[in-house]
Amino acid sequence: MATIWLDGQWLGPEEARISVFDHGLLYGDGVFEGMRVYGGRVFRLQEHLERLYDSAQAIRLEIPLPRPEMEQVTLEGIRRAGLGDGYLRHVVTRGVGDLGFDPRKCSKATTFIIFDTIRLWPQEFYERGLRVVTASTPIPHRESLSPRVKSLNYLPHILAKLEGIEAGADEVLMLDSAGSVAEGSGQNLFIVKHRVIRTPPAHAGILRGVTRDAIIEIARDAGYDVREEMLNRYDVYTAHEAFFSGTAAEVVYIRQVDGRVIGDGAIGPVTRDMAERFQRLTRA
């Protein structure tokens, strides 16, 4: 059963409640982080906490807990929940206000952490690969809100996900407003051709994922040529391999995009190598 820490209280899922006047609910005014626990330890806890506090700073949201205290609560929650392998969700909202969206009406941020597990797809999807379609819903323009902010507003990505569901696909590929390839509904994208690994750069309007950075790091350490470059759908269609990465997704290969089989349709040697190296890193 999930364990929740909410504004200093330890609660069960049936007890945890937030106000209907919370601006995180009313306006998506807040930030969050998703983290993985492997063997009772959080993978790259410091990197996730840094992004959480940077996201809050970027939207002028003051997190009530200093970062060292947030870390201690996180570690205590893992012990309380008895998590060996699991998933954490840290959420900070602007807090309780009125029905207007003036942030000055919110006297204190609401903070909660969910200690639970997650599985985006059944295990067989990792073995047979994903069928992906391109969504017509683009990612938000990077000048409206920096994609480096992991905010509570994921509606464009949810609408894209709905397109994939209607099309009978496992996942979607999202483009930016200019038609360049950006990311999945909640994952970063990598493609491989002639053993060169390519991924859209951070300035392309994508979320710079912690798992994405880990993949780039271990790939370069392994001697691969890794390039952060703008991509279009032709690059994806003609790739020898393609895969998504993310905290919840981990590493999962893409079998087909818009009806085009990627490579021979089986997991490629580079993707398999990255998945194995990533799993070893999480257990190190």
CB neighbour burial string for 223-244, b if at least 16 within 10 angstroms, e if fewer: ebebeeeebebebbeebbbbbb
Q: Which of 105, 108, 150, 161 is catalytic?
A: 150
* Active-site residue, 150 included: yes
Residues 6 or more apart whose Cβ sits within 8 Å of residue 252: 121, 125, 126, 129, 130, 187, 243, 244
Task: Kindly list the distances between the CA atom of residue 44 and the CA atoms of 35, 47, 50, 56, 283, in Å, as whole numbers in the listed order.
Answer: 8, 5, 10, 19, 11
CB neighbour burial string for 28-51, b if at least 16 within 10 angstroms, e if fewer: ebbbbbbbbbbeeebbbbebbbeb
Task: Kindly list the distances between the CA atom of residue 100 and the CA atoms of 58, 97, 103, 106, 108, in Å, as whole numbers in the listed order.
Answer: 21, 8, 9, 10, 16
The amino acid sitting at 168 is G
| Paired strand residues for 33 | 90
* CB 150 within 8 Å of CB 28: no
Q: Phi/psi at 204 (nearest 5 deg)?
A: -75, 0
- The residues carrying an active-site annotation are 150
